[in-house]
Copies of this chain bind each other. A is one copy, B any other.
Amino acid sequence: MGEVFQKGKLAKKASFQLLNYTTEEKNEALLLISNQLLEDTDLIIKENKIDLENGRENGLSPSVLDRIMLDEKRIKDMALALQELVNLNDPVGVVVEEIEKENGLKIVKKTVPIGVMGMIYEARPNVTIDAASLALKTGNSIVLRGSSSAKQSNIALVNSIHAALEKSALPKDAVQLIEDTNRETAKELFHLKEFLDVLIPRGGKGLIDTVVKEATVPVIETGAGNCHLFIDETADKEMAINISLNGKTQRPSVCNALETILIEKNWFEQHGIALLEALHKKDVEIYGDYTVCHMFSLAKEATEEDWFTEYSALKISIKIIDGVQDAITHINTYGTKHSEAIITENKENAALFLSGVDAAAVYHNASTRFTDGFEFGYGAEIGISTQKLHARGPMGLNALTSVKFFIYGEGQIRN
């Protein structure tokens, strides 16, 4: 049996042991990991340098290399995040429902850990610490499968986790790293139903689509964000421009950034040029429909493909439409069910939009950039679910729990 099977089996065994530890013991382990990371900083940076060197040799882009890079500050930030995680409530063991039956049966529905999580991710080695710590906080084992580009960094980080867990009450086997980053090991994870209770992909659209398509283990889909802003006829001019700029330019690479602006035709006639100029001034490339290109010579013509595209860059597509119903239809056709906003002073249109648009988060007069576990006050985030089952939108610790019915009787049988 190969590495994936062996480590999956160990993680499963550890997941049953994890059911027996208190919140205090779990928190103590998190603090030990935090300390260990600080202690091992030099070692981790040394291994990270090997990944960076290999990356340069393999021609990785500067932005990918930046995602891989670990320095003292980034490691300190990870250690701090672990300390903050300790302060969050333990979501396990919470009574969700309690039913007393006439026959004396007592039914108690309680939150429990999911069991074993699989995490498959690209580049960023901070996901290793993030995912492992959130798993431990919620009493889950985790099997990590990072990318080859961060292999040495991930090994170093998991060594620190293991060193810390050995000093703690928790079983070291609760955190497993698949070191073989061959494609075959990813495929094995997709089908490891015997040991994995859930598989969470974090990365680009390609990775997520592959996992969704191939995995037989239940998947939580995260991340893809083709987000829209609809500027309605009655939208406040300044508000619409501010929110457009914030959505597109504040951090263009993230999933809650804007990718398309839909503009009601009368608003566009009055204020359109001001908006286009403001975007252009911030170095945003504009892909427009016929009207936009006609009115603004710096715009390029948008193709059908543009309406589907999450640019994750300083590019935006813009379309002039008749009103809120068109906006809803466009978004439900091209969107990824992540975050969608309307700017309007018309309350009826706002209500129509919020109800009719099929997305995890729908905004009236605010920026889509707020869709985030920390902004929503969850104190932690595993990712942003764009599916409708189990968890939707920013996933905090609760998303890593399941439920179980405990039933207490005195010999009751069914008639």
Contact = CB atoms under 8 A, between A and B. Distances in A.
A346 interface: no
Contacts of A369: 413-414
A402 B377 contact: no
A355 B405 contact: no
A1 interface: no
A411 B365 contact: yes
Interface string A180-223: 00000000000000000110000000000000110010111000
B402 A389 contact: yes
Interface string A395-415: 000000011111111111110
Contacts of A38: none
A130 B410 CA distance: 33
B377 A99 contact: yes
Contacts of A16: 328, 332, 356, 358
Contact of A414 (B198, B246, B332, B410): B246
Contacts of A238: 411
A370 interface: yes
Interface in A362-378: 362-367, 369-371, 375-377
A243 interface: yes
Q: What is the count of identical protomers in the complex? A: 2
A367 B403 contact: no
A163 interface: no
A392 interface: yes
A80 interface: no
A414 B361 contact: no
B402 A388 contact: yes
Interface residues of A, number: 66
A57 B211 CA distance: 44
B404 A362 contact: yes
The interface centre, meaning the residue of A20, A362, A409 with most chain B CB atoms within 10 A of its CB, is A409
A408 B359 CA distance: 15
Interface in A129-177: none
Nearest to A242: B413
A242 to B, nearest CB: 6
A294 to B, nearest CB: 30
A370 B404 contact: no
Contacts of A212: 216
A298 interface: no
A406 B354 contact: yes
Contact of A404 (B99, B219, B359, B413): B359
Contacts of A81: none
Contacts of A101: 375, 377
A355 B388 contact: no
Given A99-B377, A369-B413, 11 more contacts: A19-B356, A99-B376, A105-B370, A212-B216, A360-B404, A362-B404, A364-B406, A364-B409, A366-B408, A376-B405, A393-B404
5 contacts: A213-B216, A236-B411, A354-B406, A363-B408, A364-B408
